[in-house]
Amino acid sequence: MDTYQIRVNSEIGELEGVIVHSPGKEVENMTPKNAERALYSDILNLSVAQKEYGHFKNALAKHAPTFEVRELLQDVLSNQRVKETLIDHIFDNEHTMASRHFLLGLSDEELARQLLEGVILVKDNLTKYFSKERYALRPLHNFFFTRDAAMAVRDKVLIGRMANQVRGREALIMQAIFDYHPMFRTQTVNPVQHATFNDKISIEGGDVLVAREDVLLIGTGTRTSSQGIDFILEQIESKEQVRHIIVQELPETPESFIHLDMVFTFLDKNKCMVFEPIVMKPNRYQTVHITIDNGKVNIKNEKNIVECLNNLGFDLEPVFCGGTKDPWAQEREQWHSGANFFALAPGKVLGYARNVYTMEQMNKHGFEILSAEDVGSGKVDISKYEKYVVAVEGSELPRGGGGARCMTMPFKRKPITW
Ligand SMILES: NC(=O)NCCC[C@H](N)C(=O)O
């Protein structure tokens, strides 16, 4: 087994390892009535979602070692102490009518499956019989967005404090993987376990972008709170160099603005994807620049993310999600995760094919558009291209509320020479 030292010092360094979760039965374990509680705006068809996801994952695996949560979880569950600790944490965290004894009696494979897909409520007493719940532990409908529950920042893994309880177990599972899987060498940082923890802290990976070794970009809105960002600020030891956090406020509605990566992502050393109305146009959503210099914190407003980054030595040109002309096209494509690109290497990214105006812009900026299915099957030889978008057919996946960046948790990237 290869072992990995965690290292993510940028959003675009060549990918050396990534964690994904192929959507399983948990995605269909919901009805229109409870979709909202599951953080979905629609219900998904699993067979279509799996087909699209297959193309996405095969294309990803052509670029870097790709690991599944399900398998990593099963591996760590083979250690009895880890299994018991994880179950204890889950029971502390969720009000559940599940039986600890029952769960501990399952095989590692079956336990991993049930922790992901949900544990059925056995109606063996009157309270359970009266309960309207189908599950004693709910399915993790959103786990195929592996981005959000854990984030590699430099050499550590920051564990998410999920804004919604329905995603809480994802963070516990990711922590168990990074703390105990022999493949990883790292230290996890979990706000919940810190002396300074308070209940207003929430942090999700879709909001946290490692722009450069010394620059973090963090969104704040419905998912990551100012208290969450203050927690990250407290963790920064700035003895060795000046460090920066650029904070972008996000709208509360519609739900497509949940995370910063839904309006801003990096594409190359000199290109970024933006949803113009929020990122570039004057509006009520502030961009704030925090500088940490030898322990001293300075906070000021900035015009926008791109200008602020360029003042810090970047050379970024924005590419517009949904094109440059029609605000309706911009809004429609942003809704379907049109700005949510995942960088495989500088100038090599993954995104949804359906966002045609966005793809047109990418093409105008020199990106070849390659089909994910062809890249995954080897029909297209990626070594022939310098700069490209691997375009994933996504009609079902975006209904879950995210795109390529949301569906990946990179834990190792090659350093960039800027
Ligand atoms: N980074 C992301 O934007 N992730 C998408 C998460 C969507 C999921 N349905 C959620 O609401 O949490």
Euclidean distance between CA atoms 299 and 195, whole angstroms: 25
Asked whether 39 lines ligand 1 (CB < 6 A), one says yes
Among 73, 82, 232, 67, residue whose Cα is nearest residue 159: 232
**Active-site residue set:** 406
Among 409, 279, 286, 268, residue whose Cα is nearest residue 334: 279
215 located within any domain: yes
Query: And the tokens for 117?
Result: 């897909």
Domain enclosing residue 194, as ranges: 4-413
pLDDT at 64: 98
Euclidean distance between CA atoms 343 and 333, whole angstroms: 19
**Beta strands, E only, 363-408:** 368-371, 388-392
pLDDT at 238: 61
Residue with tokens 């944490």, as numbered in its chain: 89
347 located within any domain: yes
374 located within any domain: yes
418 located within any domain: no
Asked whether 148 lines ligand 1 (CB < 6 A), one says yes
Asked whether 142 lines ligand 1 (CB < 6 A), one says yes
* pLDDT (tens digit per residue) in 103-145: 999 999 999 999 999 999 999 999 999 999 999 999 999 999 9
Asked whether 145 lines ligand 1 (CB < 6 A), one says yes
Give the CATH number, domain containing residue 194: 3.75.10.10
Provide the domain count of the chain.
1
152 located within any domain: yes
384 located within any domain: yes
Phi then psi dihedrals of residue 201, to 5 deg: -70, 125
Of all protein residues, whose CA lies closest to atom 11 belonging to ligand 1?
A: 39
Of all protein residues, whose CA lies closest to atom 5 belonging to ligand 1?
A: 402
Atom of ligand 1 nearest to the CA of 206: 1
In the chain, which residues have pLDDT < 50?
none
pLDDT at 241: 83
- Asked if the interface predicted TM-score (ipTM) of this complex is over 0.90, the answer is yes
Atom of ligand 1 nearest to the CA of 223: 12
pTM for this predicted structure: 0.96
Of all protein residues, whose CA lies closest to atom 1 belonging to ligand 1?
A: 206
Euclidean distance between CA atoms 145 and 143, whole angstroms: 5
